[in-house]
Structures are given as C-alpha cells and as structure tokens.
Chains A and B, each alone.
Chain A
C-alpha cells in the first residue's frame, strides 16, 4: 500500500516540516567568523593608531630652556636689525677700554627675549615694542635708535619711488613688473617681522596682504636682514624690506623713496619718513653695571654719532618710553 508522508526529502534537501538538518552549527560558525573579522579589524585599528606620545603634551606655560654655558663677558643677542649699529657701538665702546662684549648673530627679537629670560644673554636686542607679557615678566626696554624701514630693491630696478598703493599692488601681486618690464620679485620676511609690522603701522592693508601671501605661499620668505640683503643683491627685479638703517656699499642694492621721501636721518628727525622702527636694549630688570656702562656709551655723543652714521636716529630714554606706550 502506498503511504502518504507528512515530511519527505528531495535529494538531500528536506522539504517537509520535520527536516533533520539543523542550521545551528552553521549559524555558530558564521557568528564566530563575524566576531573574528570584527575583532581583527578592531585590533588593526587600535594597533595602527598607536604611536609615541610627546612629553610636552599637557604642559602649562613654558619651561626654561637650558642656559648655554656663559662667558665672562656681556652677552647680547637679538634682532638682526639691531646688529650693525649695535656691533659698531660695542666695538667703539671696547675701544675705550671696556671689556668687549659678545654680540651673537641674529636670533630675532623673540629669540633675544627668550634668551634673556633663560639667562643666556645679558641684553636682548629688540626691534619691536615689548608686549605687556614681556613687561610683566620684568623686562625693561631701553630704545637707543630709530631705524628707517627701507624699501630695498635690486640696483637694476628702474623705479625710484613707491607710494602706499604702489607698495600694496606689488606685495599683493597685482603688479608683476617694473616699468621696464622686469618681473617684480617680492622677498618677504617671516610672520611677526618688525620691519613689516612697522610698514603695516603706516599702510594698514599690508598686514592682510602679507597674511594672504603667507597662506598662498606667494613669495619667497627670508628670515633675517642679512639674508634679505643677500637675496635682494642676487635677484634682479627684487624688492624687500630692510630695517637695519643702512645698506652695504658693496652690494647691488639701493632704496626707493616712499611717497617722495628718502629714508634718511633727517627725514626721521622731521618725521617726514613714516616707515621706521625703534631699536632697543632689553634687560631683565634694571641693567647691571656692565650694561649700564654700555648704555652710557650708547647715549653719549660718540655713541649717537655712530648711530647716525648707520642711518638711524639716536633716541633717548624719554623717547623710548613714549614709544613703548
């Protein structure tokens, strides 16, 4: 007799309600596989994100840098704009019989102040105004010269004068060639440079123009005055800002007048040349005896002559205080 079954199979595939094959082992294998894949991925993700952690993370404030080995002499370091006239002053002072000080190469105004805090130098050479934080740290600025910020160009440049608009047109790239067709090569100083800051005080739009150029990496950036001199001298059609007050005679560099005024001591004296910055000695607290002796020479007549000889306007303490304010 043929019987009717409630469950049957076709080949190996159960088609009835009571099929014998269970999916539990396969589901378990699949679950373990998924967990393995996810675990492996997590392990790789966590492992790949590991790296050494810097020791300075989470620090508050600035720890002092280890002070360099001191020499038994007055040590000065700071802005490159200060260096030519300062070295001339210290050399003349030493010629009077004083102990010759050590004047380091340019470390910038900020580097000089940091070195002063660390005790690495006795006098910081600064070409910008002190910030309230600097003064809060006990720093005392003694301005001694006002240096013109010169629009320096390569000697091949046919132009003789620039006004504010012309200056902006060059630095923001709207003007790309001199009158004779020579391409204009703008040489820019780094962010926070005192010369650019001095010009931006007069030509306010230059600050934004500079920042735009920094972001766009539009111009070559030079980091000190000596480098700027070399770059201008070796680049035809170049233009840059120099704040040292004088130019070396042996380089193909000259200055442009700004709105018809040349960067001379006379123009600084009568105030007709607006692009300038004040050079100052900064000490931590009141100057010590050696620093006081140097300052006395700087503010002496020979010292003032030397300052003027370097194209700068000699300043007194009173002027410096006014500038700081």
Chain B
C-alpha cells in the first residue's frame, strides 16, 4: 500500500500569523511618528501664538496707556509694523479687537479672506489696563506648512512601514519556506521509511507468529511428555511401593513365620535337652540358645528389611496411626521429646502420597537423631484443600549450610526431595532463627 503524502503547510500557518503582525507594525510605524510630529508641531504653534499674542498685547497696552482715546486709530500702523517686522513668518495674522470684539484694522476682512481659514490656529490674549479689558489680541498661526510636513512624513513613514512590514513578513517566510522544503523532503523520506518498516514489520510479525505457533506446539508436546513422565514416575513409585510391600509381606508372612517356628522349635529342643544328660545336653542347650539368638537377630533383621521395603504399617493401621507409632518409636529409641500435630482428616490419600509423607517424616526424624543433637522435635502433618504439608522442626544445632544444599545432602534427603518432586511437590530445609532446623514439604493432593 502506498502511504499518503504528507503536506507541510508551515508557510501558510506562518503567513496567517505574520500577516496581522505586519499590518499592525505598518500601522504603528506609519501613523505614530507623523501623528506625534503633527501634535507636537501644533503644540509648538499654539505656544508660539500665545507668546506672540502676549507680546503684541504688551505693545498695545503701552499704546493704550499712552493714548487712551486715540490708540485704536494709531494702532493700525503699529499692528502692521508688528505683522511685518516683529513676528515670525509662521504667524499668519495678528488682529486686535477692542472691548466689543470689533477689529481695529479696517481692512481685516479683506486680509482674512485671502487666508485659508482651514489652516489657521488662533490663540488670544487679553489687554488689561487698570484691570479692565480694553482689547484682545488674536494671533493666527498657519498650520499649512506643518500639515504639509506631516503629510510628507506620513508618506515617508508609510513607505518605511511598508518596507519594514514587508521585511517582517518576508524574511521569516523565506526562512520557513526553505525549512518547509527541507521538512517536506525529510517527511517524504520518512514516509518511504515508514512503508519499508511496515513491510518489514509485517514479515516479522508473520515470522514471529510462525515461531510462536511452533513453540506453542513444542511446549504442549513437552507438557504432555512431562505429564506422561510424571504419571510414569508415579506409577513406578507405586509399583515400587507395591513390590516392596509385597516383598515385605512375603518376608513377614513366610520367612518370619518360618524363623519364628524355628525359634520355637529350638526353644523346645533346648528345654528337652535340659532334661537329658547334663554334660552333653549342656552343650546342646548352649547351641540351641545361641541358635535362638541368631534366629532372633535374623528375625529382627527381616523386620528392619520389611520396614525399609515398605511401611506396611500404613496398610495395617493407617497413616495417622503409623506416624504416631513412628514418633513413639523415635521418642523411645532416640531419647527425644516428640510433639505431634496430625490433622489428616477423613480424606483418602493416594498410597504413593501416604508413603512419601511417611518417608519424609521418617527421614526427617532420622536426621534429627543422627545430626541435630536436639532435645525436642515437632512433627506437624496437615491436609488442606489442595495440598499436604509436612513440617519437622527441631531445636538442635542445625544442619550445616552445605548439608542443606540438595546437591550435597545425604542420600536420605536426596531421596526425599526426589520423592516429593515426583509428586509435584517441594521440599525445603532452612535454619530456625533461634537455632534448630525446619524441614518443610508441600505436596499437591491432585496428581498431574
């Protein structure tokens, strides 16, 4: 798919922003200086007119004081003189009116008609004699030249404003135009790169999907194999247990019974021989007694073998009672105080799980007796909803760190860990904070 082209519109955006700014700048530059010039010029003309009117008023006052009756008729020449020689060229007209505002100059109308009234700025001052207004002096300043200069200034500053506004608008636009061109090229390249990247991405996604599918299949296969292996292992354990229990039962039922019968017979032989010749019989009795002892030892050995092959006691009395007996045996034989907390409930556990539980407790107590030099050991077995928990805690010296490591543990611990893990459980050995060792096994009830 061809990616759509990206249009870069920096110039349009900047033009929209700069255009009002340029207009404002042009207006301010064009208007401000000519306006200020005109206003200040008008102020200056006003002040000049006021000063001139006061100066003429002083002259008129002197004339009035000297000739109070006839000053009006002589003042025409005086005013003409002042107009001609005493005032600035920018003063367009000087008129003196009497106290009734009647002009002194009889030709004032003609002279004023020649003036452009639109361009005159008038100012007036009073002529006071003895606190009485006897005349007013009006002075007109021509604003024509000022206006002409202001217009010229406006034209000049208008041109300058156009130039400045043009520069303010054009320079950034030119720079942005170049930048826009370069950005456009970059964006085009970016679009091309995006297309290439999209193609690569699509291929990569397909490859990842294929690999993921293969891995999923492999994982499922592996899980299936693991499940089958776990089942096989469980089956092997069960078969092993069954075989061991069968052997133990056979030994107990056949060899044990036989040896017991032999022993009884030997006792009977010994008793009979005691009643015969004492010198010979004494030897036979001694032999029988020794044989009996050998049989007892053999019977004991068989019992131990039977116990080692399989705790048939579980089948006989159940797991709870088997564990209680085990603890009682350890307490009697090892000189330990064994505290038991068994909460197995009424739930029927798989034989392999019961055997493993029994073996874990058995091996844990054996290790306590052999290594811990403990005075007390606590055995706790709990069946919860999903798991069976076994906990053996002693107050001994604790296991060496090396011994806790699975790789360096003894064959008993290794065997226990393997049994637990075959059932999907976990076995941990950790030191207690106040000394001693805690052995914990957690085995799921549902075998997978």
Question: Which positions in A face B, CB cutoff 8 Å?
Answer: 1-2, 4-8, 10, 13-17, 19, 21, 23, 26-27, 29-31, 33-34, 37-38, 41, 44-45, 48-49, 51-57, 59-66, 68-69, 77, 104-108, 110-112, 114-115, 120, 190-191, 214, 217, 221, 223
Contacts and interface: CB of A to CB of B under 8 A. Distances in A.
B31 A38 contact: yes
Contacts of A217: 84-85
Nearest to A224: B77
Contact of A223 (B13, B81, B109, B123): B81
* Interface magnitude class on chain B: 35 or more
Interface of B: 3-4, 6-10, 13, 16-17, 19-21, 23-24, 27-28, 31-32, 35, 38-39, 42-43, 46, 67-70, 72-74, 76-78, 80-81, 84-85, 95, 97-104, 106, 108-109, 112, 117, 121-124, 138, 140, 143, 180, 183, 187, 191, 194-195, 197-198, 201-202
B102 A66 contact: yes
Given A44-B39, A106-B74, A37 B27 contact: yes
7 tightest A-B CB contacts, nearest first: A30-B20, A111-B73, A4-B3, A48-B42, A23-B16, A107-B73, A107-B74
Contacts of B74: 105-108, 111
By CB atoms of chain A within 10 A, which of B10, B32, B68, B69 has the most? B69
A105 B180 CA distance: 91
Contacts of A51: 46, 121-123
Contacts of A33: 24, 27
Given A65-B102, A223-B78, A52 B123 contact: yes
B201 A54 contact: no
Contact of A1 (B10, B108, B198): B198
B13 A13 contact: yes
A56 B110 CA distance: 12
B109 A60 contact: yes
Chain B interface mostly: helix
B310 to A, nearest CB: 64
B6 A69 contact: no
A66 B99 contact: yes
Nearest to B67: A105
A221 B81 CA distance: 8
A49 B198 contact: no
A190 B80 contact: yes
Contact of B9 (A19, A77, A106): A19
Nearest to B112: A57
Contacts of B23: 30, 34
A111 B76 contact: yes
Contacts of A2: 194, 197-198, 201
B77 A214 contact: no
A77 B9 CA distance: 91
Contacts of A111: 70, 73-74, 76-77
A16 B7 CA distance: 6
A59 B9 contact: no
Nearest to B205: A1
17 contacts: A2-B198, A14-B9, A15-B183, A17-B9, A19-B13, A27-B19, A45-B35, A51-B122, A52-B124, A55-B97, A55-B101, A62-B109, A65-B104, A66-B98, A107-B70, A114-B106, A191-B84
Contacts of A114: 72-73, 76, 106
Contact of A49 (B76, B102, B104, B143): B143
Nearest to B191: A4
A249 B138 CA distance: 43
A108 B74 CA distance: 7
Given A4-B4, A191-B84, 12 more contacts: A10-B183, A23-B13, A33-B24, A51-B121, A52-B123, A56-B97, A56-B102, A62-B108, A65-B102, A108-B74, A110-B77, A120-B70
B51 to A, nearest CB: 14
Contacts of B198: 1-2
Contact of A115 (B6, B10, B73): B73
By CB atoms of chain B within 10 A, which of A7, A41, A104 has the most? A41
A124 to B, nearest CB: 10
Contacts of A1: 198, 201-202
Nearest to A55: B101
A54 B7 contact: no
Nearest to B97: A56
A77 B73 contact: yes
Given A49-B143, A111-B73, A191 B102 contact: no
B98 to A, nearest CB: 6
By CB atoms of chain B within 10 A, which of A5, A45, A64 has the most? A45
A281 B267 CA distance: 205
Given A8-B6, A105-B70, A108-B77, A26 B27 contact: no
Nearest to A48: B42
A214 B255 CA distance: 171
A106 B35 CA distance: 50
